Amino acid sequence: MIKHKVKDIINFATGIMVITVVLIVSYLAYQKIDLTEDKRFTLSNQTIALVEDLEDVVEFKIYITGEHIPTDLARVKSGVREILEELAEISDNNIEFEFIDLYASIEDKEELNKELFRLQKKGLTIIPLAFTNNK
């Protein structure tokens, strides 16, 4: 009986060690696989070389936020975030980015309109999206 308990404890400890080793190896050898036909989520060698050679910080401001954005836009936002995180990692954090929600940060309509006009003068095209929230 004691023999079986010792054997069970050894088997359990061995299983825990194997799982731990697998988790550590999978963490250290993280590999993202792009299964899309056009390799949409794979950075090109030229992009990687360009980002690795950055000498100064490049800053991105992304104006695509909100609490109730459509699902398609939420996927785009998620994809942009993933690519920018990957680029930031490759560039040794020489790429910084932030997502800005003007509608949440500026409550006064007049101030909001001034900020939108200022951004339009800088070249940002503002496209209002019409969508319904059908919960």
Q: Give 113-124 pLDDT, tens digit per residue.
A: 888 888 889 888
Residue-wise pLDDT tens digits, 10-48: 999 999 999 999 999 988 887 777 778 887 778 888 998
Asked if 96 and 88 count as a contact pair (C-beta separation under 8 A), the reply is yes
Cite the DSSP H helix spans in the chain: 2-28, 45-52, 71-90, 102-105, 109-121
In this prediction the pTM is: 0.65
Q: Is 135 a residue whose pLDDT tops 60?
A: no
The tokens for 55 are 């000498």
| DSSP β-bridge partners for residue 99 | 62
